[in-house]
Amino acid sequence: MGKTVHCKCKTGCRTGRCVCYKNNEHCDDKCGCTGCHNPFNGMDIDNLSICVLQNIEEYKELSEEELEEQYKLPCGCEQVSLKKLMGDYICSKCGDAYWYSFCLDEVVEDSFTWHCQICRVCRDWREWHCENCNRCTYGVSLPCESCGRRKHQFIDD
């Protein structure tokens, strides 16, 4: 993953005010930041889900022991270590994809849950993000609760 932005923070690079942090990127020597505490620095984030990336500080607090803890998949086929659920894990028996949601504190099925990067929370598959209102709204086939626009109108934009 190439680095796309550079910041000039003076406040530590650990909040959404830092463009690097906001973009789930580490800071490098092209950034003009001082006192950098960007939690992405030195992290290998290639296999992490977007939910993990947006909860990176919580993820970093997990001990090796906690990451080895076994979690039962919702399908019931397998027990998997938390570590493997930090990105998509495909159940070897039923083939469904699962990952651990920090927002919901549980193992979720990829087809039913997604993490909205703009709202920074996990959402039900029936919800979608209305760019017009800048919030998520319920019902994939329903117009936005606030402005009445439909999801498909945004595809051509």
Interface contacts to Zn ion, rule CB under 5 A? 7, 9, 13, 18, 20, 27, 31, 33, 36, 38, 51, 101, 103, 115-116, 118-119, 122, 129-130, 132-133, 136, 144, 146-147
* Dihedral pair phi/psi, residue 3, rounded to 5°: -85, 135
Of 115, 38, 28, the C-alpha closest to 124 is: 115
The secondary structure of residue 34, as a DSSP letter, is: S
Q: Which is nearer to Zn ion, 36 or 80 (CB)?
A: 36
Q: Which is nearer to Zn ion, 19 or 77 (CB)?
A: 19
Distance CA(135)–CA(81), nearest Å, equals: 33
Q: Which is nearer to Zn ion, 34 or 79 (CB)?
A: 34
Least distance between Zn ion and beta carbon 93 (Å): 25
- Angle among Cα 83, 95, 113 to the nearest 5 degrees reads 65
Least distance between Zn ion and beta carbon 86 (Å): 12
